[in-house]
A and B are shown apart, each in its own frame.
Chain A
Amino acid sequence: MSDAAIPDRTQDHQPAAGWFRRALDSDIFYSFRRSKLTMVAAAITLLFFLLAIFASWLAVQNPFDPAQLQLMNSRIAPLWSADGQSPFLLGTDEQGRDVLSAILYGLRISLAVGLAGVVFAGALGIALGLVAGYFGGVVDTVIMRIADVQLTFPAILIALLVNGVAKSLLGNRLDEMSTLGVLVIAIGLSFWVQYARTVRGSVMVEKNKDYVAAAQLIGLPAPKIMFRHVLPNTMGPILVIATINLALAIITEATLSFLGAGMPDTMPSLGTLIRIGNNYLFAGEWWIVAFPGIALAGLILSINLLGDWLRDALNPKLR
């Protein structure tokens, strides 16, 4: 219905600026209220990152160091309740571990594993996507078939399996740091598919454009063409996927740790803290689980809000 669609025409006549300009233009202008929510989310995310980075300055103790934990300080309620004790603002757990310090250090682990997992998944996915899209043929078919099959399984199941296999292969050699590595690999292997699909799609489109043909004509080698010319064009969508996947990666790490297949009690992440605290829920010591839970929920919620905003801003059509 051509005539009925008149009002829409005013919108699609803007000059085709870069996606960044478009993002600034569409969103901050478009819905102030939504932006305000996004600002808050961005501020909270930034706060969490700062807390994690400066954890060792902010915390009253190092919760990973058994020597600093004293059993006589165990199960103290938060400071504002009747039995609260300084300096334990959010109380302590069974081990005499300060809950706030444990959250700060746990946050550090959760963010580190999440970021590293996303980077690993991104690197793997982008590389496979570039290869599949650029070379096509059998390589493409094999990679995308694997992607199809894997996409039908939930990431958590794949991460659990990778984790179980790693445990079985490494056995007792698995200390805290290598557990960290295993988690990053498990998350990376669970989340690469989306990157690969997106990059492959863009490569297929870009491949046929003139500038790539021109680059081929002047004899640029294939990897150079892909990294210098094709990849930059896919950065927008990749950024969106990475942001949303950061939240997913943190959830996955927390879930693995909660299930007892992630970070051990001696070096707890937020998920581990929640698993430990869950055991004391019935005893009335709610703070051991509540504060790590709130920290995790707040972190994920604000990253998700950022991701939503980013997606809408970069691709207004999806709204």
Chain B
Amino acid sequence: MTQPVLSVRNLEVEFVTRRATLRAINGVSFDIAKGEVLGVVGESGAGKSVTGLAVIGLIDPPGRISAGEIELSGTRIDHLPPEEIRRVRGKRIGMIFQDPLTSLNPLYKIGDQIIETIRTHTNLSESAARRRAIDLLAEVGIPAPEKRIDGYPHEFSGGMRQRVVIALAICAEPELIIADEPTTALDVSVQAQIIALIKRLGRDHGTAVMLVTHDMGVIAETCDRVAVMYSGRIAEIGPVQEVVRNPLHPYAKGLMGAIPTLAGEDKRLVQIPGSMPRLSAIPPGCPFNPRCAFVFDRCRVERPEPIRQGTQSVACHLFEPAKETAA
């Protein structure tokens, strides 16, 4: 097996507050291969964005990475000194945030923001960087880039701004792109274009993509693999067709039940009762146990570890290998 671009092992992220230490990420492990798109899905508060921020080293105090390892193409990047992780950001990992309206500095021309980023990470001259910026704008599908490069962010529509943000994320040819809810703030009509653009760029440049979203539709049509997160843990991870068609974890089942399909119009959408626990009140054992339809005693005491089931991996006691019969 070739070396993955991103490898996360047993990641833990804590937030130290006045009242308590809250564990936002608790033992998360996954890999992303070259050219692969990994979708990370879950309710808000499940730890999707925090995972992305941890990878790129942008967890601010009072938050901190308290355990685990993050490797980028074989080198560890957690616990790098600030100056070194800065050189990784933007150059080897590109990031796309949710809201293109607020991601760009309103007082700078978009060209200046791109040129600034290019020149931070390369030795290009001002004019070469400007030519590259125009190429990038063309690549992300901005019409008349040589004119638009001198525009201010407010002169662009939301979708166009997100294209600029994407151009900024890829301007140093990163190995990995983290896209944190890149379409949530956009019009439905624009969402598909942006997703297609990210997918195309990943394919063309062989970039690994970590796509954080709560939109199962986006996951289904874009990703190669998907990780379902719940309460700071990965409930289930596997190839996208498998997880969507045959979800194993009860939570994933509920989540997939929540995708409307054209074929099953007569079926009512399944809803998961209750809501995800707050970080300060995660129950012992499996965090999903209060909402789970298949809950049994063990779920309330013991935390389930990931278990391989074919190409999928699921953290649920229901899939414990034949132990029950043996004992």
Contact = CB atoms under 8 A, between A and B. Distances in A.
Interface stretch (B44-52, B266-274, B290-298): B44-52
Interface string B11-50: 0000101111010100000000000000000001111111
B175 interface: no
A3 interface: yes
Contacts of B279: 6-7, 9-10
A30 B19 CA distance: 11
Interface in B241-292: 278-280
A2 interface: yes
A4 B60 CA distance: 10
Interface in A1-53: 1-4, 6-7, 9-10, 13, 30
Interface string B58-91: 0000110000000000000000000000000000
Contacts of B50: 3-4, 6
B46 A7 contact: no
A4 B24 CA distance: 9
Given A7-B63, A7-B279, A9-B279, A1 B19 contact: no
B62 A2 contact: no
Contact of A3 (B17, B20, B46, B278): B46
A10 B17 contact: yes
A6 B180 contact: no
A229 B204 CA distance: 67
A7 B49 contact: no
Main secondary structure of the interface of A (DSSP, over half): helix
- Most chain-B Cβ atoms within 10 A of its Cβ — which of A3, A7, A13? A3
Nearest to B281: A10
Contact of A7 (B15, B44, B53): B15
Given A3-B50, A4-B49, A10 B44 contact: no
B98 interface: yes
A1 B15 contact: no
B22 A3 contact: no
Contact of B44 (A2, A13, A30): A2
B230 interface: no
Contact of A10 (B19, B49, B53): B19
Contacts of B49: 1-4
Contacts of A30: 18
Interface residues of B, number: 23
A9 B20 CA distance: 13
A3 B212 CA distance: 11
A106 to B, nearest CB: 45
B278 A9 contact: yes
Given A7-B22, A7-B279, A10-B278, A1 B17 contact: no
Contacts of B18: 30
A46 B192 CA distance: 67
B8 to A, nearest CB: 16
Nearest to A1: B49
Nearest to B52: A3
Contacts of A2: 44-45, 49
Nearest to B20: A10
Contact of B17 (A4, A7, A13): A7
Contacts of B48: 3
Given A1-B49, A1-B180, A6 B24 contact: yes
Given A6-B22, A6-B45, A10-B280, A1 B98 contact: yes
A7 B62 contact: yes
B102 to A, nearest CB: 10
A7 B62 CA distance: 9
Contacts of A6: 15, 22, 24, 45, 47, 50, 279
Contacts of A1: 49, 97-98, 180
10 tightest CB-CB pairs across the interface, nearest first? A3-B49, A2-B44, A7-B15, A10-B280, A4-B49, A3-B50, A3-B48, A6-B24, A7-B17, A6-B279
19 contacts: A2-B49, A3-B24, A3-B44, A6-B15, A6-B24, A6-B45, A6-B50, A6-B279, A7-B15, A7-B279, A9-B45, A9-B278, A9-B279, A10-B17, A10-B20, A10-B278, A10-B279, A10-B280, A13-B278
Interface of B: 15, 17-20, 22, 24, 44-50, 53, 62-63, 97-98, 180, 278-280
Given A6-B47, A7-B279, 20 more contacts: A1-B49, A3-B24, A3-B44, A3-B45, A3-B47, A4-B50, A6-B22, A6-B45, A6-B50, A6-B279, A7-B15, A7-B17, A7-B24, A9-B45, A9-B278, A10-B17, A10-B19, A10-B20, A10-B279, A13-B278
